[in-house]
Amino acid sequence: MELEKASARLAPRSPWQAVDLGTQLYRRWAFPALRVWLAFTLLPYAALLGLTLWQESWWPLVVAWWLKPVWERPLLAWYSHALFGETLTVRQLFRRWRQYALPGLGAQLTWRRLSPARSFNTCVWQLENAKGDQLSQRLRVLNSVPSNRAGMLTIVVLHLEQFMSMGLIALLYMLVPWQFSLEFSDWFVDQGALQTGIATVCMYLAMCITEPLYVACGFALYLNKRTWLEGWDLQLGLTRLGRRRHQLSTTSAMAVLLAILLLPFSPSSEAATNRTDQEQQEVIELLASEDYMPFEEVTERRWKGEAGEDSNWMQEFWKAFFENLEDDVDTDTSNPPSIPDTLLWAVAWALFAALVIWLLIKVADQLGLGKGRAEDSTPVIPTHVAGMDIRRKSLPKNLRDAMEQCLASGDVRAALSLLLRTALADLLRRYPVRLAAGSTEQQCLRSLREQHGEPPPIRFLEALTRAWIRTAWAHRPVSEDTARALLADWETLPGEEAVDA
Q: What is the mean pLDDT of the chain?
A: 75
- Evaluate if residue 206 carries a pLDDT over 90: yes
CB 36 within 8 A of CB 208: no
Q: How confident is the model at residue 179 (pLDDT cuts 50, 70, 90)?
A: low
pLDDT of residue 199: 83
260-313: per-residue pLDDT in tens?
555 554 444 455 555 566 666 666 566 556 555 555 666 666 656 554 445 556
Distance CA 330, CA 298 (A): 14
Same domain membership, residue 474 and residue 342: no
Same domain membership, residue 245 and residue 205: no
Same domain membership, residue 442 and residue 395: yes
What helix, strand, coil percent values describe the chain, rounded to 5?
65, 0, 30
In a domain, 420, yes or no: yes
Domain endpoint, select from 186, 202, 230: 230
Q: How confident is the model at residue 183 (pLDDT cuts 50, 70, 90)?
A: low
Residue 371 CB neighbours (<10 A): 9
How many structural domains compose the chain? 4
Same domain membership, residue 137 and residue 70: yes
Distance CA 455, CA 364 (A): 29
Same domain membership, residue 436 and residue 393: yes
Same domain membership, residue 39 and residue 135: yes
Tell me if the bond preceding 146 is cis, omega within 30° of 0. Answer: yes
Domain endpoint, select from 309, 344, 372: 372
71-96: per-residue pLDDT in tens?
999 999 898 888 887 888 888 899 88
Which of helix, strand or coil describes residue 385? strand
Helices (H), 269-312: 269-287
Residue 334: partners with Cβ closer than 8 Å, 6 or more residues away:
none
Q: Give the burial class of 322: count Cβ atoms within 10 A of its Cβ; 0-12 exposed, 13-18 middle, 19 or more buried.
A: middle
In a domain, 225, yes or no: yes
Q: How far is CA 287 from CA 61, 237, 291, in A?
A: 54, 8, 8
In a domain, 500, yes or no: no
- Domain around 279: 241-287
Same domain membership, residue 216 and residue 278: no
In a domain, 304, yes or no: no
Q: Give the burial class of 390: count Cβ atoms within 10 A of its Cβ; 0-12 exposed, 13-18 middle, 19 or more buried.
A: buried
In a domain, 312, yes or no: no
- Evaluate if residue 205 carries a pLDDT over 90: yes
Q: How far is CA 68 from CA 65, 116, 140, 265, 316, in A?
A: 6, 13, 24, 75, 40
In a domain, 301, yes or no: no
Average pLDDT over residues 381-385: 72
Same domain membership, residue 255 and residue 113: no
Distance CA 209, CA 211 (A): 6
Q: Residue length, the chain? A: 501
Half-sphere exposure of residue 341: CA atoms within 13 angstroms, side-chain side: 23
Same domain membership, residue 108 and residue 61: yes
Domain endpoint, select from 287, 306, 322: 287
In a domain, 85, yes or no: yes
Same domain membership, residue 85 and residue 201: yes
In a domain, 313, yes or no: no
Q: What percentage of the chain reaches a pLDDT higher than 70?
A: 66
Same domain membership, residue 459 and residue 434: yes
Same domain membership, residue 356 and residue 280: no
Distance CA 183, CA 180 (A): 9
